[in-house]
C-alpha cells in the first residue's frame, strides 16, 4: 500500500500550484478527483510552456494531472453543486486556488464545507494571502517572483533583475501546501477535526529566500550585493560561481581560495590568505579564476580538484545528464498513458519510501472522463 491509499482528494484548482500539490498526493496513493467545468475544463489544459500539444492538451497539463480522475460539474448549476457537495461530504482533502471570494460566492468556502464535513482538510493557494491590499492581484509566478525580491538575486551586478527559468513560486507553494495538508491529516488522526490550510505564492517564495533574508534582517537592512563576475549567490564570496573552460563550464562551490590556487596552479590566488578577502575581493579573485580556467578543458580541472575533495562539478545540459550512469541509476523517467490517447514521458515522484519508487502510469484524464464511474461509486 502507498501511504495515502484510501484517502479521497477533490482538486478544484487550476494552472500549476494547486494541481501539482494534488498530483503529489496522488503519487502517494490518494484517489484524486479533479472537479472541472464541462467542456473546457481546467484552464491549464491550454496553458502552453511550448508549442507542444498532446491529444488536445498542453504537456504541462499532462505532466501535473497524471493519475487523477475528472468529474465535470457546472458550479453555477444547482443540481451539479448538490452532487459536488455529496463528494465533499465524503472527501478527506479539498484543494482550490481561486481568487479570494470565488468559493464563497459558490457556497463552497472552507466554513461551508466544514459544515458538510467537519473532518475535511481544506487547502487553499492564493497569490498574496486572503486579505490585505494585494489579495486581488493576479497570483501568477513571474509576478510573485518580481514582487518578492527574488529577481534581484539572479544575474551579475551589472544586469537587470532576472527571474528564475522555471515556475519556482508555484512549485514552492505546491510543496508547502502538501506539507500543510499532511500535517493537518496527522492532527485529524488524533482529534478527528479537519483544518483550513492556506499558503500563498508570496509567502512561499519569501520562505525559499530565508537564508538571505535572515542576513538582510540582521545586517541593518543592507541590500545584498551581487558579484560582477559569475554571480551565483549575493552573500557568498569567491570562488562561488560557474566558470567557462576551454570546452564547457565548471561550477565551483565554497572552499579555500588558497587551496584552490594550489590545486589549479594559479599562484596569484595563494596570496589571499585572509578569508575575509574572499568576499571583499571576490570579483578580483573570480576574474583571475575565469581567465585561468579558460586555458584547459573541464575534465582537466576536475581531475585536479575531485581527488582533493574540492567542491566542484561539471555543468551538464539535459542531454548530457540523461546519458550519465548516475541519472540512469535513478530511473527517474516514467511513461504515462491516457486511455485511447498518447503515451508521454515525464518525471516520477521523487520520494522513495521503504525502498519503493512511486510511478503513476495513468495519464491525465479528459474533461468529465470519469463522471459515470464517480457517480456510480458515490451514488450521486
- Residues annotated catalytic, as ranges: 170
Q: Which are the contacts of 300, defined by CB distance < 8 A and separation ≥ 6?
A: 245, 246
DSSP of 110-137: HHHHHHH-TT-EEEEEESS-SSSTTTTS
User: Do β-strands 312-314 and 249-252 pair in parallel, antiparallel, or remain unpaired?
Assistant: antiparallel
Helical spans, DSSP H, in the chain: 17-27, 59-64, 78-90, 102-106, 110-116, 141-148, 168-191, 201-208, 210-217, 257-264, 277-280, 282-293, 298-305, 318-322, 325-330, 371-378
Are 18 and 44 within 8 A, CB to CB?
Answer: no
Half-sphere exposure of 198 (CA within 13 A, CB side): 14
Helix (H/G/I), strand (E/B), else coil: 50? coil
Distance CA 65, CA 108 (A): 22
Query: DSSP string covering 356-371, please?
Result: EEP---B-PPPTTTTH
Q: Which of 194, 173, 171, 174 is nearest to 183 (CA)?
A: 194
**C-alpha–C-alpha distance, residues 213 and 149, integer Å:** 10
Using CA atoms, how far apart are residues 255 and 274, in angstroms rounded to an integer?
13
C-beta of residue 344 within 8 angstroms of C-beta of residue 62: yes
Which residues neighbour 18 within 8 Å (Cβ) at sequence distance 6 or greater? 11, 12, 95, 96, 97, 123, 125, 174, 177
Question: Residue 334 contacts by C-beta under 8 Å, 6 or more apart in sequence?
Answer: 345, 346, 347, 348, 359, 360, 361
CA distance 353 to 107: 39
Amino acid at each position: 500500500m502507498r501511504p495515502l491509499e484510501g484517502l479521497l482528494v477533490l482538486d478544484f484548482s487550476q494552472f500549476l500550484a494547486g494541481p501539482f500539490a494534488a498530483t503529489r498526493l496522488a503519487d502517494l496513493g490518494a484517489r484524486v478527483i479533479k472537479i472541472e467545468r464541462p467542456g473546457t475544463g481546467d484552464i491549464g489544459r491550454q496553458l502552453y510552456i511550448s508549442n507542444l500539444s498532446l491529444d488536445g492538451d498542453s504537456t504541462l497539463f499532462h505532466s501535473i494531472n497524471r493519475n487523477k480522475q475528472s468529474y465535470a460539474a457546472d458550479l453555477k448549476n444547482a443540481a451539479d453543486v448538490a452532487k459536488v457537495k455529496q463528494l465533499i461530504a465524503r472527501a478527506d482533502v479539498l484543494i482550490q486556488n481561486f481568487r479570494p471570494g470565488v468559493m464563497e460566492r459558490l457556497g463552497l468556502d472552507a466554513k461551508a464545507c466544514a459544515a458538510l464535513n467537519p473532518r475535511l482538510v481544506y487547502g487553499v493557494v492564493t497569490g498574496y494571502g486572503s486579505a490585505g491590499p494585494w489579495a486581488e492581484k493576479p497570483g501568477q509566478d513571474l509576478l510573485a517572483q518580481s514582487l518578492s525580491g527574488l529577481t534581484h538575486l539572479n544575474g551579475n551586478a551589472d544586469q537587470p533583475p532576472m527571474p528564475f527559468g522555471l515556475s519556482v513560486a508555484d512549485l514552492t507553494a505546491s510543496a508547502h501546501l502538501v506539507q500543510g495538508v499532511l500535517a493537518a491529516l496527522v492532527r485529524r488522526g488524533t482529534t478527528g477535526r479537519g483544518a483550513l490550510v492556506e499558503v500563498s505564492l508570496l509567502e512561499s517564495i519569501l520562505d525559499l529566500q530565508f537564508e538571505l533574508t535572515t542576513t538582510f534582517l540582521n545586517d541593518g537592512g543592507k541590500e545584498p550585493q551581487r558579484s560582477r563576475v559569475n554571480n551565483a549567490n549575493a552573500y557568498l564570496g569567491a570562488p562561488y560561481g560557474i566558470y567557462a573552460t576551454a570546452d564547457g563550464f565548471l561550477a565551483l562551490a565554497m572552499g579555500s581560495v588558497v587551496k584552490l590556487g594550489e590545486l589549479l596552479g594559479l599562484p596569484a590566488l595563494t596570496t589571499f590568505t585572509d578569508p575575509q578577502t574572499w568576499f571583499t575581493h571576490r570579483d578580483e579573485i573570480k576574474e583571475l579564476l575565469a581567465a585561468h580556467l579558460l586555458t584547459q578543458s573541464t575534465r582537466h580541472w576536475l581531475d585536479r580538484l575531485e581527488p582533493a575533495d574540492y567542491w566542484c562539478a561539471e555543468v551538464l545540459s539535459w542531454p548530457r545528464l540523461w546519458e550519465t550512469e548516475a541519472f540512469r541509476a535513478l530511473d527517474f523517467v516514467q511513461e504515462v498513458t491516457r486511455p485511447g490517447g498518447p503515451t508521454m514521458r515525464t518525471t516520477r515522484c521523487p520520494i522513495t519510501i521503504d525502498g519503493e519508487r512511486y510511478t503513476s502510469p495513468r495519464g491525465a484524464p479528459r474533461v468529465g472522463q470519469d463522471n459515470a464511474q464517480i457517480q456510480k461509486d458515490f451514488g450521486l
